[in-house]
Amino acid sequence: MVGATRQVRGADRLWPALARAERREEALEGLDRIAASMQGRVIRRAISPQERSLADAILESAGAIADLTEAALDERIDAVRQHAHSIARRNQALDGDALREAYALGVEAIRRTTGLSLYPEQVMGGLVLRGGAVAEMATGEGKTVTAILPAALAGWTGRGVHVVTVNDYLARRDAQLCHGAFARLGLRVGVLDGEMERAERRAQYDLDVTYGADKQFIFDFLRDRLAQPLAPTVASSVLDAVTNPDDREHGTREVVQRGLNAAIVDEADSVLIDEAATPAIIALPAGESLGADTVERYAIGIDLARALEADRDYKADARTHRVALTKVGRQRLGELAADPSRALPPFWAGPRRREELVVQALGALVLHRRDDDYIVRKNADGQREVVIVDRSTGRVLDGRQWQLGLHQAVEVKEGLEPSERRHTAARVSYQRFFARYRSLAGMTGTGWEVAPELWRAYGLRVVRVPTHRPIARVERTDRTFTSEDTKFADVAKAAKVAHERGQPVLVGTRSVHDSERVASLLGDEGLQCQVLNARHEAQEAAIVERAGRAGAITVATSMAGRGTDIKLDDEARDAGGLLVLAVERHHERRVDRQLFGRSGRQGDVGEAIAFVSLEDEMVVRYGLAPLRWMARAAPGPLRAVLARLLVRQAQRSATRRWMLIRDESSKIDAWVDLAFHQQTR
């Protein structure tokens, strides 16, 4: 078995470009795109009776081997492992009795190494993953150990399997938790870390199961492209092997990945949908610093933009995220530009280029807000820098920049020196990267709403797995307010009341700014809280793990700590369980579900309430103006009804808007990836 495995690995390493044929389908458009979306909606489904029966049969078989000696169990595992490997070499998959026995051995290995006895629902989830789908499993249902079953099958093929998570901490944690079970099944486990050198990273990929954050896998793929930019043909690879018999890896020493065989993606909607809105890019310095004229034009552009008056000189449309000068604004700009102290460099002094520069500066000033779209922090060298925040996840996007000078305009707005130009050395969209895997599956607590996109982009259907215990969480009716100030004050009051009775509280906010505003209000009430946002990513999991203690108050952006369970202590459970206070509704309902799902884990008691106001960013940006006016003018009871109706309408509109943005990004990336690939071959 070991010799056969090494032979497969050697072939993948010797022929890295031939290990997986790249799929380059054109992006769907028109009726094809609509048909794919409709198919994605229809193909969503629940667990079938056959899968339930098979899960019960697997657990029954696992019970039958529970009394085997260690030696006898090893013998059974070795036999099934060798059978799985031989089947894989014929490009087939285990089925029927062989699958039942393989999963039963996995269940027993998990029990003996972790002390956890899998539930039928977890086995069902493992069957969904093995079938190449996304398993929607509620928070706390044990997705981490569920993934061991299909990952072991993929690992037995000798071609490797990648278990993808959202950050390095979760990758290390999950690898450590599952290491014993994989070792019992004869598999070696590796984990990727951002500090690893290439040789060490290569060693982790050579193991049977490799855990890592999505960025680790995708940027290793891009770095491999840079190390071996020209894909070898069969003829050139054979010639290389013949002419270099003593160096079977000639030309691939810097390549760390040995092929993209199988991937299981945890938090699949976050990785495959939210992260996929922005392509992965390796940008290298262009080798030239910004000239004095360039730095000057950014500074003058921001100065001119600050001198203009909103609504009179320019119109800012938050819905479309665009700024346009009015006729009065163009005249005003001409007058301002005539001032010698605001003289632009010659190239930018003309009316059209001047307007282009100022519109960009207005976008930096008006549409891109600090502690919402980006944060300013100190880098490793102690220098202040602008770092983009992903509005969908609340996490920072290290190393990414806005294009076409916008990033430099934001830097000047914040009083920083504009960063140097960069050129794109390698890039790939998430869709095209994950499409390269022979086998792709995922799991998440909130995949139902994006099922059409998952099907259209990746060919993945979403299957809802039932919870092991009924959900006891109580979701209260939204509390509505006319202003943000009264809303935030009521959030602080609700948190204080719950804290005084010993109930743990999780306050979910949409932005960094809002999380710090809530923390300040709680401080005014004499309450201490833990704050988790883009400024505190390193402590993310540790903070969330403590959020279930009696009387604890945790303030976090909605997606922070995703992938980490909040476990209640006995005192917290007696006080009513975790109380989730959502400061506003998110642009997409699945993020609300993710936040609310923190409460009521594994049948625990809990409560969730959303606080919304007519001044919320989503309501202002996406709500219908007449409905907003009616809600504001209506008397008390009717106002609450209209406000809830307005919020639902705004959320549906925002969801459609973000879906269109992702669709456009996907189409653009498909075109750019193809052009970039042809250019660099």
- Split at pLDDT 50, 70, 90, the class of 320 is low
Q: What is the pLDDT of residue 24?
A: 42
Tell me, yes or no, whether 523 lies in a domain: yes
* Average pLDDT for 398-410: 77
Q: Tell me whether residue 35 is in a domain.
A: yes
3-state secondary structure 40-96: HHHHCEECCHHHHHHHHHHHHHHHHCCCCCHHHHHHHHHHHHHHHHHHHHCCCCCCH
pTM of the predicted structure, to 2 decimals: 0.82
Domain CATH for 596: 3.40.50.300
Backbone angles phi, psi at 567, to 5 degrees: -100, 135
pLDDT over 60 (residue 183): yes
Give the gyration radius of the chain's Cα atoms.
Answer: 27
Which of 197-211, 216-230, 555-569, 588-602 bottoms out in mean pLDDT, i.e. has the lowest?
A: 555-569
Indicate the pairing of strand 374-378 with strand 384-388. Answer: antiparallel
Q: Which residue has the tokens 């028109």?
A: 30
Q: What is the pLDDT of residue 429?
A: 82
Which of 335-344, 365-374, 440-449 has the largest mean confidence? 440-449
Complete DSSP assignment for 122-142:
HHHHHHHHHTTSEEE--TTS-
Q: Does residue 506 sit in the same domain as residue 577?
A: yes
Strand bridging mode 605-613 / 472-475: parallel
**Whole-angstrom distance, CA of residue 326 vs CA of residue 17:** 54
pLDDT for 307: 86
Distance CA 160, CA 151 (A): 9
Is there a contact between 417 and 411 (Cβ–Cβ < 8 Å)?
yes
- Classify residue 479 by its DSSP letter: E
Task: Indicate whether 306 and 358 sit together in one domain.
Answer: yes
Tell me what the mean pLDDT of segment 7-36 comes to: 48
pLDDT of residue 32: 62
> For residues 294 and 419, is the Cβ–Cβ distance under 8 A?
no
Query: With 80 as the cut, is the pLDDT of residue 219 above it?
Result: yes
Q: Across residues 43-57, what is the average pLDDT?
A: 88
Q: Evaluate whether 329 touches 313 at the Cβ level (below 8 Å).
A: yes
C-alpha distances in Å from residue 620, one per residue of 317, 485, 609: 11, 15, 21
End of a domain among 566, 597, 613?
Answer: 613
Q: In this predicted structure, what is the pLDDT of residue 18?
A: 38
Give residue 34's pLDDT: 63
Residues 252 and 311 in one domain: no
Give the number of other Cβ atoms within 10 Å of residue 226's Cβ.
13
Q: Note whether 403 and 438 are same-domain residues.
A: no
Picking from 613, 640, 656, the residue at the C-terminal end of a domain is 613
Strand partners, 263: 162, 440
d(CA 601, CA 445): 12
* H or E element at residue 547: none
Domain boundary among 588, 613, 638: 613
642 in a structural domain: no
For residue 228, being part of any structural domain is answered with yes
Q: Report the C-alpha gap between 216 and 231 in whole angstroms.
A: 22
Q: Averaged over 289-302, what is the pLDDT?
A: 71
Q: Examine the pLDDT at 287 and tell me if it is beyond 90.
A: no
What is the residue-averaged pLDDT of the chain?
A: 83
Q: How many domains does the chain have?
A: 3
In this prediction, residues 319-329 reach a mean pLDDT of: 80
Pick the range with the lowest mean pLDDT from 37-41, 331-335, 343-347: 37-41
Domain of 332, CATH number, reads: 3.90.1440.10
Residues 257 and 300 in one domain: no
Of the spans 10-24, 221-235, 613-627, which averages the highest pLDDT? Answer: 613-627
The helix, strand and coil proportions of the chain, stated in percent and rounded to the nearest 5, come to 50, 15, 35
The reply to whether 352 and 496 lie within a common domain is no
Predicted confidence band of residue 235 (pLDDT cuts 50, 70, 90): low
Angle between helix 636-680 and helix 625-633 axes, rounded to 10 deg: 150
How far from 563 is each of 252, 268, 472, CA to CA, in Å? 35, 11, 21
Exposed, middle or buried by CB within 10 Å (0-12, 13-18, 19+), for 472? middle
Q: Could you tell me the pLDDT band of residue 678, with boundaries at 50, 70 and 90?
A: low
Is residue 635 situated within a structural domain?
no
Coil, helix or strand at residue 331: helix
Q: Which residue has the higher pLDDT, 442 or 560?
A: 442
Looking at the fold, whether 48 and 105 belong to one and the same domain comes out as yes
Check residue 490 and give its pLDDT: 96
Q: What is the pLDDT of residue 502?
A: 95
Return the beta strands (E) in 270-373 as ranges.
280-285, 314-317, 322-325
Whether residue 59 is contained in a domain is answered as yes
Full domain range(s) for residue 323: 289-420
pLDDT at site 384: 86
* Nearest-angstrom CA–CA distance, 111 and 645: 49
Q: Tell me how far apart the alpha carbons of residues 304 and 147 are, in angstroms, rounded to a whole number.
A: 56
Q: Are residues 452 and 542 in the same domain?
A: no
Q: How far apart are CA 581 and CA 559, in angstroms?
A: 14
Q: Do 579 and 540 have their domain in common?
A: yes
326 and 396, same domain (yes or no) = yes
234 located within any domain: yes
C-alpha 155/C-alpha 183 separation (Å) is 11
Task: Give the Cα-Cα-Cα angle 605, 611, 613 (nearest 5 degrees).
Answer: 170
How is residue 370 annotated by DSSP? B
Site of tokens 């992965």: 280
71 has a pLDDT exceeding 80: yes
Residue 637 counted as domain residue: no
User: CA angle 669-675-676, nearest 5°?
Assistant: 85
Residues 649-660: tens digit of each pLDDT: 999 998 888 887
Q: Which residue has the tokens 């969330």?
A: 544
Q: What is the pLDDT of residues 101-136, one digit of tens each?
A: 999 999 999 999 999 999 999 999 999 999 999 999
Q: Do residues 49 and 109 both lie within one domain? A: yes
* 433 and 498 belong to one structural domain: no
- Separation in Å, CA 545 to CA 299, 334, 569, 578: 45, 57, 11, 12
